[in-house]
């Protein structure tokens, strides 16, 4: 691997073709759990020691935001340990908060601040201002919260004032654009029930996407003493006078979406590749990517907190089984599957991935554009993508655009098994969730001239 060194943020990273992957890694903390736990700990009675917090752009903006709101967050003894002192209401009643491109910070903080009321400005990077938030704002306004758009209707930046809450009727929220809107309302719900003494009822209008993330929210709320009851995925209730209580200490699991890249490496580079930090006890939906790999013909082993894959050797001409799969439950790991399609024994179809359009970039468009550069035949529609892999001699060397999307950079590293050199543009965009990704990747793979892969 060679990095361009012309600027502080390298313009590109060159990846030479590799043939094998083997080894074991410890995953960085889960982004989704880290940011939920920070908010829960900030609102809980007592202080919480958080172990294994992810250190990345998305968690940094959440930490900075909470500190601006007057929450005490101190570094603990270990590098990935933080001690958060909870408060019933954020002491800072006026704040201007930058939340980068972190959906898991922006959406939950919007709901919490709107239910508290105050004088807040929330903004992010330009792409965050193109990511919809209208369904959440509509739901909050339905409750009497005071939230106004500072730019385009339906999008950040937002200003939050003092509303007049009325919780007598259920709040309705749409769930077909992002599950984070429902997650945000659930996480903030105790702020509403504490002040009114009535139950908080939430109803999802129509379809709910990305359901495992809502399940994760409910499980984490339970660790902080608040039980959500639900009727299917349509109706949710948080009891009157619910109040978060610190569990004292909490451990953040490894990131299951980040795990997908290494499990995929084991799948195409012979393996075994083992990831530590997630396993069959995980609360993250993306661990089911291991089941997807099993359907592609990969051998998967799992323990309570590890997963291992042992697959085919694509460098020796072996193939994965082609797939036609609904990825609505695991939209992030689905990007990894899209790149694995390059090594399948036939055309592959990814269905029900419409949410890709409104994430870090329009991921259907970005994925389509970059896969074509490598020689694949690609078709796409509003919520689907079909990838026909290139023949072995039809792979083309390419400069892969990453579209300021960490997952584009990480999943295209897997294309370095295609036998051609690759250039990954703006590799540091991985800092959103996994700043050391390429170092970890480099420690697992070996090229043609290496007799033995690192273990």
Ligand X SMILES: O=C(O)C1=C[C@@H](OP(=O)(O)O)[C@@H](O)[C@H](O)C1
Ligand Y SMILES: C=C(OP(=O)(O)O)C(=O)O
Q: Out of ligand Y, ligand X, none, which partner does residue 433 contact, by CB within 5 to 8 A per kind?
A: ligand Y
Q: Out of ligand X, ligand Y, none, which partner does residue 429 contact, by CB within 5 to 8 A per kind?
A: none
Based on CB atoms, which residue is closest to ligand X, 103 or 254? 103
Residue 34 interacting with ligand Y (CB under 6 A): no
Q: What is the dihedral of CA 418, 421, 427, 430, to 10 degrees?
A: 20
One of 48, 179, 380, 386 touching ligand X (CB under 6 A)? 179
Residue 217 interacting with ligand Y (CB under 6 A): no
Based on CB atoms, which residue is closest to ligand Y, 417 or 434? 434
Residue 29 interacting with ligand Y (CB under 6 A): no
Q: Of all residues in this chain, which one has the CB nearest to ligand Y in the complex? A: 103
Q: Which stretch binds ligand X (CB under 6 A): 172-180, 345-353, 371-379, 422-430?
A: 172-180
What is the torsional sign of CA 34, 39, 42, 48?
A: negative
Residue 253 interacting with ligand Y (CB under 6 A): no
276 annotated to bind ligand:
no
Among residue numbers 223 through 252, which ones bind ligand Y (CB under 6 A)? none
| Residue appearing with tokens 């919490």 | 112
One of 21, 102, 113, 446 touching ligand Y (CB under 6 A)? 102
One of 59, 104, 388, 402 touching ligand X (CB under 6 A)? 104
- Binding map of ligand Y across residues 313-352, x = CB under 6 A, - = no contact: -------------------x--------------------
Cα(262)–Cα(51) distance, rounded to whole angstroms? Answer: 23
Among residue numbers 416 through 435, which ones bind ligand Y (CB under 6 A)? 433
Q: Crossing angle of helices 134-142/103-116, nearest 10°?
A: 20
258 annotated to bind ligand:
no
CB atoms near residue 150 (< 10 Å) = 13
Q: Are 316 and 342 in contact (CB under 8 A)?
A: no
Which listed residue (57, 58, 286, 332) is catalytic?
332
Q: Out of ligand Y, ligand X, none, which partner does residue 210 contact, by CB within 5 to 8 A per kind?
A: ligand X
Q: Are 343 and 268 in contact (CB under 8 A)?
A: yes
Q: Are 340 and 21 in contact (CB under 8 A)?
A: no
80 belongs to the catalytic site = no
- Report residue 198 as tokens: 């009535």
246 annotated to bind ligand:
no
Based on CB atoms, which residue is closest to ligand X, 246 or 260? 260
3 state DSSP class of 100:
coil
Residue 407 interacting with ligand Y (CB under 6 A): yes
Based on CB atoms, which residue is closest to ligand X, 48 or 104? 104
DSSP output for 405-452: -HHHHHHHGGGGGSSS-EEEESGGGGGGT-TTHHHHHHTTEE-TT-SS
In DSSP terms, 202 is beta-bridged to 171, 236
Count of H-run helices and E-run strands, the chain: 12, 25
Cα(278)–Cα(304) distance, rounded to whole angstroms? Answer: 7
Q: Are 130 and 405 in contact (CB under 8 A)?
A: no
Best CA proximity match to 404, nearest among 373, 435, 425: 425
264 membership: H or E segment, kind and range: helix 256-268
Q: Which stretch binds ligand Y (CB under 6 A): 101-109, 222-230, 336-344, 385-393?
A: 101-109
Q: Which stretch binds ligand X (CB under 6 A): 83-91, 147-155, 207-215, 221-229?
A: 207-215
∠ CA 349-396-356, nearest 5°, is 35
Q: Which stretch binds ligand Y (CB under 6 A): 102-110, 220-228, 288-296, 298-306?
A: 102-110
Q: Distance of alpha carbon 149 from its chain centroid, rounded?
A: 25
Best CA proximity match to 398, nearest among 18, 17, 2: 17
Residue 210 interacting with ligand Y (CB under 6 A): no
31 annotated to bind ligand:
yes
223 annotated to bind ligand:
no
Cα(134)–Cα(154) distance, rounded to whole angstroms? Answer: 4
Residue 180 interacting with ligand X (CB under 6 A): yes
Based on CB atoms, which residue is closest to ligand Y, 48 or 210? 210
Q: How far is the CB of 257 from ligand Y (least distance, A)?
A: 7
Report the half-sphere exposure of 87 (CA within 13 A, side-chain side).
Answer: 14
Q: Out of ligand Y, ligand X, none, which partner does residue 183 contact, by CB within 5 to 8 A per kind?
A: ligand X
Q: Known binding site for phosphoenolpyruvate: residues? A: 31, 103, 131, 180, 363, 407, 432
Q: Known binding site for 3-phosphoshikimate: residues? A: 31-32, 36, 178-180, 210, 332, 359
Q: Known binding site: residues? A: 31-32, 36, 103, 131, 178-180, 210, 332, 359, 363, 407, 432
List active site positions. 332
């Amino acid at each position: 691997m060679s990095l361009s060194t012309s600027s502080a943020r390298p313009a590109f990273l060159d990846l030479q073709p590799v043939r094998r992957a083997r080894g074991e890694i410890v995953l960085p903390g889960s982004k989704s759990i880290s940011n939920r736990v920070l908010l829960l700990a900030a609102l809980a009675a007592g202080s919480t020691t958080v172990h294994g917090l992810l250190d990345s752009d998305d968690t940094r903006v959440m930490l900075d935001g909470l500190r601006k709101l007057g929450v005490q967050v101190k570094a603990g003894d270990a590098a990935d340990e933080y001690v958060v002192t909870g408060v019933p209401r954020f002491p800072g009643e006026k704040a201007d908060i930058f939340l980068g491109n972190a959906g898991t910070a922006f959406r939950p903080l919007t709901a919490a601040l709107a239910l508290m009321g105050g004088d807040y400005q929330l903004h992010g990077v330009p792409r965050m201002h193109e990511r919809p938030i209208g369904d959440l704002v509509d739901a909050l306004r339905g409750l009497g919260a005071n939230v106004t758009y500072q730019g385009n209707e339906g999008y950040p930046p937002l200003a939050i004032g003092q509303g007049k809450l009325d919780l007598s009727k259920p709040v309705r929220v749409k769930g077909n654009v992002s599950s984070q809107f429902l997650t945000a309302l659930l996480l903030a719900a105790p702020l509403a029930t504490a002040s009114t003494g009535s139950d908080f009822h939430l109803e999802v209008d129509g379809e709910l996407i990305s359901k495992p993330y809502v399940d994760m929210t409910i499980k984490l709320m339970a660790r902080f003493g608040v039980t959500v009851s639900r009727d299917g995925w349509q109706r949710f209730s948080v009891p009157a006078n619910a109040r978060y209580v610190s569990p004292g200490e909490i451990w953040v699991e490894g990131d299951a979406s980040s795990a997908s890249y290494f499990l995929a490496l084991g799948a195409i580079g012979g393996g075994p590749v083992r990831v530590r930090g997630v396993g069959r006890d995980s609360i993250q939906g993306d661990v089911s990517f291991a089941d997807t790999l099993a359907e592609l013909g990969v051998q998967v082993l799992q323990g309570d907190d590890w997963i291992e894959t042992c697959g085919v050797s694509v460098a020796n001409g072996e193939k994965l089984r082609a797939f036609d799969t609904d990825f609505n439950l695991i939209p992030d790991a689905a990007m990894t599957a899209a790149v694995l399609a390059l090594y399948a024994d036939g055309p592959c179809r990814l269905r029900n991935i419409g949410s890709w359009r409104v994430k870090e970039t329009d991921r259907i468009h970005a994925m389509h554009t970059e896969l074509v550069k490598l020689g694949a035949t690609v078709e796409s529609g509003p919520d689907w993508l079909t990838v026909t892999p290139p023949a072995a001699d039809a792979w083309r060397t390419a400069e892969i655009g990453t579209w300021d999307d960490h997952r584009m950079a990480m999943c295209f590293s897997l294309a370095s098994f295609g036998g051609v050199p690759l250039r990954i543009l703006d590799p540091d965009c991985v800092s959103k969730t996994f700043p050391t990704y390429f170092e970890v990747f480099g420690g697992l793979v070996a090229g043609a001239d290496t007799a033995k892969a690192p273990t």
